[in-house]
Structure 1
């Protein structure tokens, strides 16, 4: 028994490191599969109206590329402006930090601590100036890698959508000739497609509202290029827990790059956090509902795991993968206990005393 547990543990560890090392190959495949599950119902509806799968897949992929290209073209100029403004604005932020440090008695320029802080600031400035070329080269390398991965994802997505009926029929043919088994597998795939499509569509609408509200709030605060920050907030809000705090930190840095003074520097970040709090506590629970809701602890652990394995792409697909896993576990008797832990139940939990049964009391802890 111990040998079996040890072998299983070693297999899990080896699988995790294999997934991490093969992320450049697996990330486009997994993202394409997730998008295929989301868009397959739309292709099926188009086929019912007489549009072939190949044409329907081309229309959907073209619509995605057109929407993404339009948004990127609209945001290219504001992003370039912020990029050109960043070195000068960063120097202004560091100078402002120097002034704030001088207002505290223990950090004034006469003390050794202040002298060390000044030297650290100067070293940061010198490093930014000397490593600008290396930073640009690394960004270009990552840009090329992202372009290749995105192109692979789009091509694979088209083939998956165009051959969905053929792939599904072949998968059912390789199963044993038992109608009940094939019906269970087909029902499970349809359930995954339905739940994943509903979740992604609902979350996209929610994040669209978050982006619009953020852009409106930032325009009222006179932050430059509020549309750029609205799109960034909407995209980062797809990553549970981590994304909103990254957006808030970026907005705090953007506020520090403006001419605002005092606590006004934190107004952009505070406005976004207020919008996010309203969305996460009221809007999302009401729109997503208990059927698609996932246990928050499972979501957090999944985001941590997949972010460690695949970075930003893993954090983006962490929740869709949880939804797929829950759909599979619900249709397998041996795995239903896992689905119980993954689901967010709206019923109140029973007390520990009631779970022990009548006539039994809670055990006393010594000491």
Structure 2
């Protein structure tokens, strides 16, 4: 009489079958690894595509941001009997006029700053002479480079003479920049005028009624939330620019209008824009004023205004629902700055907000949306967790 094998003693037949067929867990892990590799390859392909095709994709991205921002205004006017084409034309041409007037206003101050940049840099080095001891070696290296540039070596002189300056490079890109602006405004106009037609096409393509309703709900919610966010932030940054410009005028900083506009644009970059503004204002103040104590007023005022806006005013108006992860903001700004330069830096956060809102409305992307979100207070999370329990 044979005893049955105890639990813990392997069955030879069962073990051979396991060796023949790979376990299910291994198959799942391999499938996950394959998906991760495919995702990385697709992301790299998209990144290279938008980098080399920036002449095509940059106007589309800017137009998408502008159309999402202004679409609720067009739709509200349409409900009051005003055709979408007329409202879209008024908005786009208004933006074009504002951009043109701003460019003409800023041209002369910017040119003056560019021409005066060498003198500002020289004076800044002289003013900081007493505290730049650790940089002495770097200065000596710079002097050696300067001596080499001023030598009689024909090859060195040839390189220096033929090197294009900043203004020459800017002049060479004026045509491309103007073409990009025209394409951007044209795309924005058509996206605003025919946004309802686009939604109608989406509804006709989807097969089920539930999918149609869900797609429209997501589209309208993304449009409404992004528009509210961007318009509110634009209004806040306009007020902040006015406050910074007025403060710079009161303390005697040069070009206060330019400071105000720069502060408003930089504030579209949370955390980063404020730091850049403080550093630049400190450098210009050191060159402008006689004493370091007087020069410290400008960066302190700039820091105080932006800190008040970022920590109290904007959270009170927008709430914390659309706060973003600071690390993700830095990565997004770095990525889009590398891909599209200054334009990429300016639209990095709006694109991130669009992605965040879209992820919040798609169940499969809720994890990514949570990763993009900023830190919320514990009380808010408890309140959100208690709401379903109270309803039940």
Is this a same-fold pair by TM over 0.5? yes
The answer (yes or no) to whether the contact 1:195–1:292 under 8 Å persists in 2 is no
Match of 1:216 among 233, 246, 256: 246
| Map of 1:75 onto structure 2 | 106
* Distance apart, 1:271 and its partner CA: 1.8
Q: Does 1:52 align with 2:83?
A: yes
d(CA) in 2 for partners of 1:59 and 1:96?
Answer: 51
| Equivalent residues in 2 for 1:318-333, closer than 5 Å | 318-333=348-363
d(CA) in 2 for partners of 1:114 and 1:76?
Answer: 34
The answer (yes or no) to whether the contact 2:286–2:292 under 8 Å persists in 1 is no
Specify whether residues 343 and 115 from structure 1 end up closer, same or farther in structure 2 by C-alpha distance, changes over 3 A only: closer
| Map of 1:134 onto structure 2 | 165
| Map of 1:152 onto structure 2 | 183
| Map of 1:273 onto structure 2 | 303
The answer (yes or no) to whether the contact 1:91–1:125 under 8 Å persists in 2 is no
SS of equivalent residue, structure 2 residue 165: helix
**Residue deviations 1:281-309 (CA, integer Å, cap 9, x gap):** 11121111023323333333333332233
d(CA) in 2 for partners of 1:288 and 1:253?
Answer: 33
Q: Does 1:116 align with 2:143?
A: no
* Distance apart, 1:29 and its partner CA: 0.3
Q: Does 1:167 align with 2:202?
A: no
| Map of 1:354 onto structure 2 | none
Q: Structure 1: where are the runs of 5+ without partners?
A: 351-367
RMSD: 3.0
* Distance apart, 1:311 and its partner CA: 2.5
* Distance apart, 1:193 and its partner CA: 0.8
| Map of 1:199 onto structure 2 | 229
Q: Does 1:233 align with 2:263?
A: yes
Specify whether residues 95 and 301 from structure 1 end up closer, same or farther in structure 2 by C-alpha distance, changes over 3 A only: closer
d(CA) in 2 for partners of 1:140 and 1:342?
Answer: 39
* Distance apart, 1:34 and its partner CA: 1.0
Q: With structure 1 as the length reference, what TM-score do the two structures score?
A: 0.82
d(CA) in 1 for partners of 2:139 and 2:73?
Answer: 63
d(CA) in 1 for partners of 2:273 and 2:310?
Answer: 13
**Residue deviations 1:180-215 (CA, integer Å, cap 9, x gap):** 101110111101111111111111122112111111
| Map of 2:123 onto structure 1 | 92
The answer (yes or no) to whether the contact 1:223–1:255 under 8 Å persists in 2 is yes
d(CA) in 2 for partners of 1:118 and 1:33?
Answer: 46
Specify whether residues 141 and 246 from structure 1 end up closer, same or farther in structure 2 by C-alpha distance, changes over 3 A only: farther
d(CA) in 2 for partners of 1:290 and 1:349?
Answer: 9
Q: How many residues align?
A: 342
| Map of 1:65 onto structure 2 | 96
| Map of 1:6 onto structure 2 | 37
**Residue deviations 1:97-144 (CA, integer Å, cap 9, x gap):** 4x5379x6x99xxxx9598267269569979x9688532211223443
d(CA) in 1 for partners of 2:283 and 2:67?
Answer: 37
SS of equivalent residue, structure 2 residue 252: coil
Specify whether residues 124 and 84 from structure 1 end up closer, same or farther in structure 2 by C-alpha distance, changes over 3 A only: farther
Match of 1:189 among 190, 197, 219: 219
| Map of 2:384 onto structure 1 | none
* Distance apart, 1:267 and its partner CA: 2.9
Specify whether residues 9 and 271 from structure 1 end up closer, same or farther in structure 2 by C-alpha distance, changes over 3 A only: same
Specify whether residues 91 and 311 from structure 1 end up closer, same or farther in structure 2 by C-alpha distance, changes over 3 A only: same
The answer (yes or no) to whether the contact 2:329–2:349 under 8 Å persists in 1 is yes
Specify whether residues 9 and 87 from structure 1 end up closer, same or farther in structure 2 by C-alpha distance, changes over 3 A only: closer
The answer (yes or no) to whether the contact 2:281–2:299 under 8 Å persists in 1 is yes
SS of equivalent residue, structure 1 residue 292: coil
Q: With structure 2 as the length reference, what TM-score do the two structures score?
A: 0.77
The answer (yes or no) to whether the contact 2:226–2:357 under 8 Å persists in 1 is no
Match of 2:341 among 301, 311, 316: 311
